[in-house]
Amino acid sequence: MSSQPRASRIGEPTWEIANLYPRQGAWSESDYLGLDAGRLVEYENGVLEILRMPTELHQAISLFLWLQLRNFIDTHRRMQGICLVAPLPIRLWDGKFREPDVMYMSAENRERRTPKFWEGADLVMEIVSESDPDRDWVEKRQDYSKAGIPEYWIVDPRDRSVTVLGLDNGGTGYDELSRTFDGQSAASRLLADFAVDVSTVFDRPEVIQ
């Protein structure tokens, strides 16, 4: 009798493809960075987490915030650096990667950028998922502060708020710098003069139509 595994049958997972990859817990960082899944994938200690596909609203908000940040950088020449949107892995520490919705790295930290991932970031933004808000409000808040990312914006469509967090004086956690709603502006501490009208984040025609 042949010892070769049988071919996958109709209705089963395609085991032949699955067996080409490491099992959960056995992924290395190079395995993870070489994966071309066409999906957002995060990594922690050998385990992959496949993230939900973003909604149209989620994508529209991400791109709007990225555009505001990019335009600010372009018009304020003193603010050199680069801003991008997911997917792009950020290594928070050895064995831990996240993929923020929007991320910014200053020019002075350009050496922390590589073609496949960044070593941390100077500012990250996340749009809260309605299905799992604790992921952005609790887990990522802990992870980004532990990684020493100076500023973290939490954009929550549920109550139309933008919360700006900054590292405390000891660098061990985040202080809430501001929490703003419709009719107010969310302002950065890291990037002087960068602010966003909260109403425009949620009420632009390309978002609600």
CATH number at residue 86: 3.90.1570.10
- Please report whether residue 150 resides in a domain: yes
Chain centroid to CA 157: how far? 16
Q: What is the pLDDT of residues 44-81, one digit of tens each?
A: 778 877 777 888 899 999 999 999 999 999 888 766 79
Q: Is the pLDDT of residue 205 over 50?
A: no
For the chain, give the percent of residues with pLDDT over 70.
Answer: 92
Q: Is the pLDDT of residue 101 over 50?
A: yes
- Please report whether residue 43 resides in a domain: no
- Please report whether residue 70 resides in a domain: yes
Tell me if the bond preceding 87 is cis, omega within 30° of 0.
yes
More confident residue, 13 or 143: 143
- Please report whether residue 172 resides in a domain: yes
**Measured distance CA(48)–CA(23) in Å, rounded:** 9
Residue 145 is part of which domain span?
Answer: 56-208
Q: Is the pLDDT of residue 209 over 50?
A: no
Q: What is the pLDDT of residues 153-177, one digit of tens each?
A: 999 999 999 999 999 988 789 999 9
| Structural contact between residues 174 and 168, judged by C-beta atoms closer than 8 angstroms | yes
- Please report whether residue 126 resides in a domain: yes
Looking up tokens 């709007």, which residue turns up?
A: 64
Strands 102-106 and 90-93, by their bridges, are unpaired
**Measured distance CA(200)–CA(120) in Å, rounded:** 28
- Please report whether residue 186 resides in a domain: yes
Q: Which of 51-55, 87-91, 105-109 has the lowest mean pLDDT?
A: 51-55
- Number of separate domains in the chain: 1
- Please report whether residue 140 resides in a domain: yes
- The pLDDT of residue 23 is 86
| Structural contact between residues 58 and 127, judged by C-beta atoms closer than 8 angstroms | yes
pTM (two decimals): 0.85
User: Which DSSP string corresponds to 69-119?
Assistant: HHHHHHH-TT--EEEEESS--EEEETTEEE--SEEEEEGGGGGGB-SS-EE
- The pLDDT of residue 1 is 46
